[in-house]
Amino acid sequence: MEMTTKYTDAFIKEMPKSDLHLHLDGSLRIPSLIQMAKKLNFELPSFTEEGLRELVFKDTYESLPDYLHGFQYTCSALRDLENIEQASYELAVDNQNEGVCYIEPRFAPQLLVDTENGLTMETVLEACYKGLERAKKEFNNRPDVINGSRPEFHYGIISCAMRKFGPKGYSPFYTRFFKSMEYSREMEVLKEGALQMVKAAVKIRDEKGIPIVGIDLAGQESGYPPGKFKEVYAYAHRNFMHKTVHAGEAYGAESIFQAITECHADRLGHGYYLFDENKIVDPNVTDKKKYLNDLITFVADKRTTIEVCLTSNLQTNPEIKSIKDHYFKEMLKNRMSVSICTDNRLVSNTTVSNEYKLALENFDIQPKHLKDIVAYGFKKSFYHGQYIEKRNWAKRVVKHFDEVAKKHGITDL
């Protein structure tokens, strides 16, 4: 459908939003990245915003490796505790400025660990918390928040396990393992790193009250299915940690099946290939159509939320020729629980408002359905705190959505 006048830019910006799939290391401000590079004395392809937009952080990419190229620079910039805190603070502020009142930044602390320079799993996670918490307190002390004109801002941190990623050498943390283990044992290294990560996340959550609300599994999906990390997810599950998994982004429905059945996934990152039977490669699946129908029904019925990242999918998946070909249309058709997310604000050059605008311009989303999608972002969040607190807060946010909609002439909710 063409965007109607009721879905104006002003309405989209003002309506309360969330971002449940948001990589910290893919969402830095370019001026801050340049400043951090100068501080840590490492080279960038350019030291101007225009140059970095042209050479690294582009609007379109040739391939997934091209898309991921910029992370070597952002991760280098974040191997400093002050920089992590600054980036986390700025990320929260950027979201607050466009009406986002809940975010779940995710990153892999083990990629930033450098014990010789004071970066441990715990100090890295704590630095992220300090930045986010500062932004939260500043925002929630604003008069318009105190008087109830705007919802409070909240956040939770998701700690990522990693599949294969980047060139050999990875980071100082992984290099330490590889000094004593052959690369042929790469999976054991990755699983051990992931297990150490989740144990550190649970520890700092329990001992310091830092809102590490969930774990994720990111990195190269093909060849590194979720089931390989089931022991890591079992540890998180036993310790009351919420779980999301990058699944169905670059691999077939079997990846989603494993994420749900072996990793207890509460949400799915991307979930794009849930609807493509041609991507099923398991020889044991003889009736692919039935397999997909059963899986789609199960995901929909369990209200397992899919974290949809439209721009990112268009940039990393050459099979998607047009936004209108995106399987988001099938998610809507099947009334699945979906939440619209950015993935990487810097790398994808996007915002939550831009992602909503893209969805509303290209898919038939009536106001009642839009309200449901917005609500899923809060109800299916990994909100840190008691359930009754989350429930009451989500109600206040949805009520604010109704008020904003009415202000902009949208009454058919």
pLDDT above 70 for 194:
yes
SS3 of 277, please?
helix
- Residue-wise DSSP of 298-353: HHHHTT-EEEE-HHHHHHH-TT--SGGGSTHHHHHHTT--EEE--B-TTTTT--HH
Domain annotation for the chain: domains and CATH numbers: 9-407 (3.20.20.140)
CA–CA distance, 370 with 325 (Å, rounded to integer) = 20
Predicted confidence band at 166 (pLDDT cuts at 50, 70, 90)? low
Please report the sign of the dihedral spanned by the C-alpha atoms of residue 333, residue 325, residue 216, residue 90.
negative
pLDDT above 80 for 173:
no
Q: Are 306 and 331 in contact (CB under 8 A)?
A: yes
CA–CA distance, 397 with 393 (Å, rounded to integer) = 6
Q: Are 126 and 208 in contact (CB under 8 A)?
A: yes
Segments in 69-216 forming alpha helices (H): 71-77, 81-96, 121-140, 143-146, 172-178, 186-208
For residue 337, with 0-12 CB atoms within 10 Å meaning exposed, 13-18 middle and 19 or more buried, which class applies? buried
Q: Are 200 and 122 in contact (CB under 8 A)?
A: yes
241: left (phi over 0), alpha (psi -120 to 50) or beta: beta
pLDDT above 90 for 2:
no
What is the CB neighbour count within 10 angstroms for residue 166? 16
Percent of the chain with pLDDT over 90: 80
Mean pLDDT of the chain: 92
CA atoms within 13 A on the CB side of 168: 8
Question: Quick one: pLDDT at residue 116?
Answer: 85
Higher pLDDT, 188 or 184: 188
Phi, psi at 101, each rounded to 5°: -115, 10
Q: How many contiguous H segments (helices) and E segments (strands) does the chain have?
A: 18, 9
SS3 of 412, please?
coil
Mean pLDDT (whole number) for 314-339 = 94
The model carries a pTM of 0.94
Question: Quick one: pLDDT at residue 250?
Answer: 81
Predicted confidence band at 174 (pLDDT cuts at 50, 70, 90)? low
Q: Are 405 and 11 in contact (CB under 8 A)?
A: yes
CA–CA distance, 343 with 339 (Å, rounded to integer) = 12
